Amino acid sequence: MEITFLGTSSGVPTRSRNVSSVALRLPQRAEVWLFDCGEGTQHQFLRSEFKASQIRRIFVTHMHGDHIFGLMGLLATCGLAGNPQQRVDIYGPPRLNDYLQSCRRYSETHFSYPIKVHTVSPGLVYEDDEFEVRCDRLEHKVTAFGYRISEKDRPGRFDVKRAASLGIPPGPLYGQLKQGKVVTLPDGRRIRGQDLCGPPLVGRKLAYCTDTIYCDRTVELARDVDVLIHEATFAHQDADMAYQRLHSTSTMAAQVALLAEVRQQLIMTHFSPRYAPGNAVSLDDLLAEARAIFPKTLMAHDFFTHEIQRQELVAAAP
């Protein structure tokens, strides 16, 4: 699992930062899942290694323009690319489907591939054999949702040499044993798959929370995740403004990560342009504020990429 930030500014784009969008790359299935799609996201795709044809799912947090104004353009471009496009599933708050239908109607845009829009509510949003996505309400001026993406645990590494030493013939039986099943050999022996597999591979977990003021639901959504992506629109000294606009400060983001016991990394994003270089307070100050509470904090920039490691690998690191 690898995340790439395609936009890290709040409200409006700047010379160096586009508005909100994060891509989650799933190499094992050659898919890209997109979280929010602010204006200009398709231009960011052109500057990245991603292909629009790999987009399978888009998760929208809320209906503010800096999170959805790029959605219709990206979908239209996918249809004009000339490459076969599989169905794209879009998940988001109420009225998202109305918005897209109005855009299609008034622009007379016709997609050459199927699109399905799912209206989300707190709880399970999507599940397959490998992943589960849940959401919960955030605290913002409009209905907004945060998302939690969980990779399911997988059986550990299968010991092929030991299986051969036991006289187990290669073939379908190996597949069953890799899944931890119990198989009966032609000679009557019963072999437990878990005896031939190493420790289970713990699934990786990611939470994406923006836009929101600090709230307990955000902490629970991020509980024990490996990586938390959280907005940090304002510096701590501008907390009054954060409360008025229902956005987070850098210290609020860090408090969420600390209370949720985030395992690997807090990555802050969605920064106000007021902290551009040359101003009295800079983004370096926001980073220092957050690290004073949660040291494992990073600050995202456009095209910043971070690989979410498995817990075993993290534990083994020096």
| Whole-number Å distance between alpha carbons of 6 and 174 | 42
* Residue 66 falls in the annotated catalytic set: yes
Among residues 36, 66, 238, 302, the one annotated as catalytic is: 66
CATH of domain 2-154+203-316: 3.60.15.10
Instruction: Classify residue 248 as left (phi > 0), alpha (psi -120 to 50) or beta.
Output: beta
Q: What is the pLDDT of residue 83?
A: 55
Structure tokens at 10: 């709040």
Q: What is the pLDDT of residue 318?
A: 37
- CB pairs under 8 A, 24+ apart, for 95-101? 95/63, 96/60, 96/63, 96/68, 99/63, 99/68, 100/71, 100/72, 100/75
> Domain-by-domain residue ranges, the chain?
2-154+203-316, 160-196
Q: How is residue 271 annotated by DSSP?
A: B
The mean pLDDT value of the chain amounts to: 91
CB 200 within 8 Å of CB 153: yes
Q: What is the pLDDT of residue 315?
A: 42
Q: What is the pLDDT of residue 162?
A: 86
- Report the candidate in 271, 215, 265 with the shortest Cα–Cα distance to residue 14: 271
CB 287 within 8 Å of CB 268: yes
Q: How is residue 259 annotated by DSSP?
A: H
Please indicate, yes or no, whether the overall pTM of this predicted structure exceeds 0.75.
Answer: yes
Identify the helix (H) or strand (E) that includes residue 159: none
| Whole-number Å distance between alpha carbons of 19 and 239 | 22
The alpha helices in the chain, defined as continuous H runs, are: 41-46, 65-68, 71-80, 96-107, 160-165, 172-178, 216-221, 239-245, 250-260, 283-293, 311-316
Q: What is the pLDDT of residue 316?
A: 41
Q: What is the pLDDT of residue 81?
A: 61
The residue ranges of DSSP E strands in the chain, in sequence order, are: 2-7, 21-26, 31-35, 55-59, 88-92, 115-119, 123-127, 131-137, 145-151, 182-184, 190-192, 205-209, 227-231, 265-269, 297-299, 305-307
- CB pairs under 8 A, 24+ apart, for 73-78? 73/39, 73/41, 73/42, 74/37, 74/41, 74/42, 74/45, 75/100, 75/111, 75/115, 76/107, 76/109, 76/111, 77/42, 77/52, 78/52, 78/53, 78/111, 78/113
Reported as a single tens digit per residue, the pLDDT across 273-312 is 999 888 889 999 999 999 999 999 999 999 999 999 887 5
- Report the candidate in 149, 150, 153 with the shortest Cα–Cα distance to residue 59: 149
Extract the residue ranges of the chain whose pLDDT is less than 70: 81-85, 312-318
